[in-house]
Chain A
Amino acid sequence: MKRYIAAMLVAAALAGAAADASAGENLWYSVFFPGWGQTRAGHYGRAALFAGGEVVSLVALAISDVQYDRAVEQYDRARAAYLGATYIGDAVEQYDVMREKWDDAESLHRYRQAAIGAAVGVWVVNIVDRVLFDETRVPPIAFAPRAGGFAVAASLSF
């Protein structure tokens, strides 16, 4: 996992250095924000897929991360209660509670790992998509700001 993060940070740094380069510029936009490069190239469907997938993955990661931290906190409390028990009845009861909290933390840990995998996976596929399919398509309808308004351009391809 740390390799992915390191790769992401290195890629981000490289992207910053090459931000002004014109060749393959869309790739670096995709490095920064999945789907942005695809948007610039006119592939709106794929852009929505990557951007949406990344946002959903990160939201799932944030939620599972918060829930996991809470589950670990509850597990630590149950563990302290179990280890501090002075009556066998309390110890048996707290042991069951502790096991239950540990199972909760374990399953949330798996969800969190899955969300990390999904976030990194979407990001990597988004990059691969830009590397392999770097053709720029003219968008069917484009808006461009002009002095005092917008210019709308439409194109037809055969």
Chain B
Amino acid sequence: MKRSIAFALFSAALLCSSCGTDHANLPTEFVYTAPPTPTGLAADPGAERCALSWSYPAEAMPLVREFRVYQYYESYDMLQLVGTTADTAFVDTLLVGNLYYCYSVSAVDTTGFEGWRTAAVCAFVPTGP
């Protein structure tokens, strides 16, 4: 009799615990709105430096806090942030010459949300004089 009472109590407890938890509702829609992606990224290499410039829609500029400039390491498929700017141009300095450098840029809106990064643009940086 004791075993059957224990079994009944165990069953009831298991059933009670099972109907207690529940998963929350899924957010039905994708809630993020990303700032537009910069276009026309161009690299202008110099001696141990590389100047970058890009275009951005004028109407979207007030919503942009900054642009993030990344260096792209093709061998590792890895991005590294090299700097930020509020302008549509950036100069990466103190580079080691005689190497290829690849860059990608993204826009960050006033809430701190970062939009899609551009495709990497590469340039050969020569050594200094």
A contact residues vs B (CB 8 Å cutoff): 1-2, 4-5, 8-9, 12, 16, 19, 29, 31-33, 36, 54, 58, 61-62, 65, 68-69, 71-72, 75-76, 79, 82, 85-89, 91-92, 95, 98-99, 102, 105-106, 109, 112, 115-116, 119-120, 123
Interface centre among B24, B26, B114, B115 (most CB of A within 10 A): B26
Q: Contact between A116 and B19 (Cβ–Cβ < 8 Å)?
A: yes
In this complex, the member of A16, A33, A36 whose beta carbon has the largest number of chain B beta carbons within 10 angstroms is A33
Residues of B within 8 A of A (CB): 1, 3-5, 7-12, 14-19, 21-24, 26-27, 30, 32, 34, 106, 112-117
A72 CA to B17 CA, complexed, in Å: 15
SS class, residues of chain A in contact with chain B: helix
Contacts of A99 on B, CB cut-off 8 Å?
Answer: 26
Partner of B19, one of A2, A19, A75, A95: A2
Taking a contact as CB atoms closer than 8 A, the residue among B4, B12, B21, B117 that contacts A33 in the complex is: B4
The smallest beta-carbon distance between A123 and chain B, in angstroms, is 8
Residues of B near A68 (CB, < 8 A) are 21
Number of A-B contacts (CB under 8 A): 89
User: Contacts A69-B21, A89-B117, A95-B30; is A4 near B8 (CB within 8 Å)?
Assistant: no
Question: Which residues of B lie under 8 Å from residue A87 when comparing CB positions?
Answer: 106, 113-114
Instruction: Look across to chain B and name the residue whose beta carbon is closest to the beta carbon of A12.
Output: B8
Tell which of A33, A61, A76, A86 touches B8, judged by Cβ atoms closer than 8 Å: A33
Q: How far is the CA of A155 from the CA of B112 in the complex (A)?
A: 85
Also in contact, A1 and B11, with CB within 8 A (given A19-B1, A33-B4, A89-B116): no
Once the chains bind, are A4 and B15 in contact (CB under 8 Å)?
yes
Q: Do B26 and A102 touch across chains, with their CB atoms under 8 A apart?
A: yes
Report A6 CB to chain B, min CB distance, Å: 10
Q: Contacts A2-B19, A19-B1, A32-B4 hold; do A62 and B14 have CB atoms under 8 A apart?
A: yes
Are A86 and B18 touching (Cβ within 8 A)?
Answer: no
Q: Which residue of A lies closest to B26 (CB)?
A: A102
State A120–B34 Cα separation when bound (angstroms): 50
* CB-based contact A86/B114 at 8 Å: yes
Q: Which residues of A have CB within 8 Å of B7? A: 32-33
Given the known inter-chain contacts A99-B26, A102-B23, please indicate yes or no for A86 contacting B112, CB distance below 8 A. Answer: yes
